[in-house]
Amino acid sequence: MRLLIMGAPGAGKGTQAALIKEYFAIPHISTGDMFREAISKQTQIGKEAKKYIDKGDLVPDSVTIELVRERLLNEDCKNGFLLDGFPRTIAQAQALDGMLNRLEIKLDAVLNVDIDDEILIDRIVGRRTCSVCKESYHMTNKKPKVMGVCDVCGGKLIQRVDDTEETIKNRLHVYHQLTEPVLEYYFKQGLVKNVSGHGNIEEIFAKVTILLGGNE
Ligand code: AMP
């Protein structure tokens, strides 16, 4: 199964991606996670990416495309993958087409998690992530049992630096300007499957598995 997951920041892509990864046993490739890891390791790419991420802007295409190109050559992508947060521009989508052509593979579907802008800001501001295992939480919708502590591994919960109200407004603007056209690009290829991002996580995932041809 070769999939892309798309949706505005806060639509719940990351949460659904984690479930899809388990269900289909495919690697979850999140460019946002890759950049955050590079930042925490203070690599050259991390230092470059941080300048953009902190403002809610996109990291330049050249940097992002190279990162994904290398990742897709990994052995674990042989039987499928789930790309999350890439492509975010038409140039990235065209570059991905080129990579897939060279590998002689095709995408099976582009899952779009659809949600109204009004509720996104609240969702993002309440979002917390485990600093160790990356499990996601929400201060009203998915509270941890103990404040600030991950239920799964006991790690410390943190708020992403780009999850502030000011940065989110820019990220939403960037999404509508640059990433929505990518959805249109895949729509024309007949690959897009829409799922509503409203409702609880399990209900949404049940719809996702049906859309992707699973057994639930
Ligand atoms: P995410 O975790 O997907 O919301 O990504 C966090 C941030 O990483 C974004 O706001 C961008 O600054 C950067 N980023 C992630 N993926 C990409 C991409 N495909 N192209 C450019 N920048 C990206």
Domain ranges of the chain: 2-116+164-211
The confidence score (pLDDT) of residue 119 equals 85
Q: Which of 31, 180, 183 to mutate to test the pocket of ligand 1 (most atoms within 8 A of CB)?
A: 31
Taking the C-alpha atoms of residue 14 and residue 105, their distance in angstroms, rounded to an integer, is 24
The confidence score (pLDDT) of residue 64 equals 97
Tell me if residue 69 is catalytic: no
Three-class secondary structure of residue 88 per DSSP: coil
The confidence score (pLDDT) of residue 189 equals 95
Contact in structure between 127 and 138 (CB atoms under 8 Å): yes
The confidence score (pLDDT) of residue 117 equals 81
Tell me if residue 171 is catalytic: yes
Fold of 2-116+164-211: Rossmann fold (3.40.50)
- Pick the catalytic residue from 21, 88, 128, 134: 88
- Pick the catalytic residue from 69, 160, 193, 207: 160
**Could you tell me the pTM of the whole model?**
0.89
Bridge partner list, 124: none
Taking the C-alpha atoms of residue 128 and residue 2, their distance in angstroms, rounded to an integer, is 28
| Ligand 1 centroid – CA 186 distance (Å) | 19
- Residue 210, token pair as written in the block: 């049906």
The confidence score (pLDDT) of residue 204 equals 96
Q: Which residues contact 101 (CB under 8 A, 6 or more apart)?
A: none
Peptide bond into 87 cis (omega under 30): yes
The parts of the chain modelled with pLDDT lower than 70 are 214-216
Tell me if residue 13 is catalytic: yes
| Ligand 1 centroid – CA 32 distance (Å) | 5
CB-defined site of ligand 1, < 6 Å: 9, 31-32, 35, 52-53, 56-59, 64, 85-86, 88, 92, 162, 171
| Ligand 1 centroid – CA 58 distance (Å) | 6
- Residue 49, token pair as written in the block: 């990416």
